Structure 1
Amino acid sequence: MIQPHTYIHSGAKLAPNVKVDPFSVIHPDVVIGEGTWIGSNVTIMDGARIGKNCRIFPGAIISAIPQDLKFEGESTTVEIGDNTTIREFVSINRGTVDRHKTVIGSNCLIMAYSHIAHDCIIGNHCILSNNTQLAGHVVMGDWAIIAGMSAVHQFSKIGAHAYIGGGSLVSKDVPPYIKAIRQPLTYGGVNSVGLKRRGYTLVQINEILDIYRVIYNQGLNTTQALEYIEQEFRASDERDEIISFIRESERGIVKRGTKGGTIEE
């Protein structure tokens, strides 16, 4: 399964049925799981840990050192889960002393020309569309989607099941289950289409919508809104996840737009 004109260091650990196309280079401290395909002209550098049945397309560079002037050569990794697809010319940098690793979960799709910087943590089933750029230390929850040509500020957090529109500049945290759209980036309603596709019931979706109406529509500050939600809404995984995400936000969450009409589902 290893084609001619490919360089694989003897210290790399590849499962027996890994396929590597011509002109790719694999450095020594690399582990690649069963069934993974490495396209041509791919460079996989020290610290890469790649799961089973992944597809890495031509031109990708995995586990290059961080673009961080504080990096001093410490031993860190890039960890990629199973069944994840890395498209053409994606670059993924390994971690620094902050987290010691950059992580991409299972069943993700990272589209062409995207960049994932050091110490990012990407959940499962996430999609980064073409030319998405993540600065260092970004965290994305499961099932989050970022549309193309978007850029995410360092240390930002994106909640599970969130959707971020194309061409966005993300400088605030994006809470779970919502759509974030427009410039500057603002709350655009609940991601009801995505939630329906993933099996959420209409009752669950309406409850999430009611929670965000309290946060964005009732004129309360964040502390007041969260206290009201805890008192007036029944306990649920969705309610508790929203409350926890917003309380733990260090950058603050995206705001509601002041112009352009009302936002409804």
Structure 2
Amino acid sequence: MSQHIHSTALIAEGAVVHPSVSVGAYSIIGPDVEIGEGTCIGPHCVIEGHTRIGRNNQIFQFASLGAQPQDKKYAGEPTRLEIGDGNTIREFCTFNTGTAQDEGVTRLGNNNWVMAYVHIAHDCQVGNNTILANNATLAGHVHVGDWVILGGLTGVHQFTRIGAHAMAGFSSHISQDVPPFMMVDGNPLAVRSFNIEGLRRRGFTPARIQAVKTMHKLLYRQGLTLQAALAALPALAEKTPEAAADVALMQDFLQASTRGIAR
């Protein structure tokens, strides 16, 4: 292990660090941290708390992972931060552990591209294959679905959910739920279109893209109430069985929304 650990790095007794992990100069790893195979920790990083990091992650200099949540209710409970595999975490990112008022864990999934200065607050649940651009900030309890893209300087209000394949433009202010597939930006936030280019790049067939386009029209272009748009979705799934899973994703998201959706 010693050939991968810089002589100035401090790794506390009790930390579980795979022999293939590299740790840069002056980084500090706490006693309750677990780091998986092939992960690279840059210089001047602090990884603390009950934090588990998976395989083949690249964590750049000055990241702070696993610090206590920025929540006045936090009373020292052994809450956690869990990071999956294959993530890139750039400079000055800050990810906090969870709180007892939620599941007690903050999660980042697999293969995410997290740019500099991103903050992921307590109890956030971030999926897989997301892109969080520079200075994107997630307040507590935010849920971000797979393949979401958040533009730089975007702020997300606590308890807000962002559905899979959604995209937010630069400096967006997100305080209501963003349905799957939608493209939003601005302050106040507005839905501009649906993420057609992202869906093409992910191999969505023309039939599935057409179904998403229809869902966008039902929600935003035909003057329907949310209840009326929801009522029209089952017929769309029957008409386009190939897109049934996409329609179900939208149905589940809308029915679970408690903050209301961006409209």
Assess same fold via TM > 0.5.
yes
Counterpart in the other structure of 2:141: 137
Q: CA deviation at 1:232?
A: 4.7
Q: CA deviation at 1:112?
A: 0.3
Q: CA deviation at 1:231?
A: 3.5
Q: CA deviation at 1:128?
A: 0.6
Counterpart in the other structure of 1:164: 168
Looking at structure 2, the residues matched to 224 and 203 of structure 1 have their Cα atoms a distance apart, in angstroms, of: 23
For structure 1, which segment, 192-201 or 224-233, has the greater mean C-alpha deviation from structure 2 after superposition?
A: 224-233
Q: CA deviation at 1:233?
A: 4.1
Q: Residue 28 and residue 184 in structure 1: after superposition, are their counterparts in 2 closer, same or farther (change >3 A)?
A: same
Give SS of 1:229's match.
helix
Counterpart in the other structure of 1:5: 8
Q: CA deviation at 1:109?
A: 1.1
Asked if 1:215 is matched to 2:223, the reply is no
- Please provide the CA RMSD for this pair: 0.9
Residues 191-210 of structure 1 show CA distances to partners (whole Å, capped at 9, x for unaligned) of 01000111101111011101
Q: Residue 219 and residue 50 in structure 1: after superposition, are their counterparts in 2 closer, same or farther (change >3 A)?
A: same
Q: Percent identity?
A: 44
CA contact (8 A) 2:131 2:150 kept: yes
Looking at structure 2, the residues matched to 110 and 119 of structure 1 have their Cα atoms a distance apart, in angstroms, of: 17
Q: Aligned letter for 1:4? A: S
Looking at structure 1, the residues matched to 183 and 215 of structure 2 have their Cα atoms a distance apart, in angstroms, of: 14
Pairing 1:167-178 to 2, within 5 Å after superposition? 167-178=171-182
Looking at structure 2, the residues matched to 229 and 186 of structure 1 have their Cα atoms a distance apart, in angstroms, of: 22
Match of 2:36 among 8, 33, 36: 33
Match of 2:88 among 85, 89, 93: 85
Give SS of 2:217's match.
helix
Asked if 1:224 is matched to 2:232, the reply is no
Match of 1:62 among 54, 61, 65: 65
Looking at structure 2, the residues matched to 210 and 75 of structure 1 have their Cα atoms a distance apart, in angstroms, of: 46
Asked if 1:243 is matched to 2:251, the reply is yes
Q: Aligned letter for 1:244? A: D
Q: CA deviation at 1:254?
A: 0.6
CA contact (8 A) 2:171 2:185 kept: no
Counterpart in the other structure of 1:263: none
Q: Report the TM-score when normalising by structure 1.
A: 0.94
Residues 134-184 of structure 1 show CA distances to partners (whole Å, capped at 9, x for unaligned) of 000000010101010110000000000100001001000000011012331
Q: Aligned letter for 1:245? A: F
Looking at structure 1, the residues matched to 14 and 236 of structure 2 have their Cα atoms a distance apart, in angstroms, of: 58
Give SS of 1:48's match.
strand
Q: Report the TM-score when normalising by structure 2.
A: 0.95
Looking at structure 1, the residues matched to 259 and 42 of structure 2 have their Cα atoms a distance apart, in angstroms, of: 39
Residue segments in structure 2 that go unaligned for 5+ positions in a row: none
Q: Residue 190 and residue 10 in structure 1: after superposition, are their counterparts in 2 closer, same or farther (change >3 A)?
A: same
Asked if 1:187 is matched to 2:224, the reply is no
Q: Aligned letter for 1:137? A: H
Counterpart in the other structure of 1:52: 55
Matched residues, number: 255
Counterpart in the other structure of 1:16: 19
Q: Aligned letter for 2:233? A: I
CA contact (8 A) 2:165 2:180 kept: yes
**Structure 1 consecutive aligned stretches of length 4 or more whose deviation exceeds 4 Å:** none
Q: Aligned letter for 1:2? A: I
Asked if 1:202 is matched to 2:210, the reply is no
Looking at structure 2, the residues matched to 74 and 9 of structure 1 have their Cα atoms a distance apart, in angstroms, of: 20
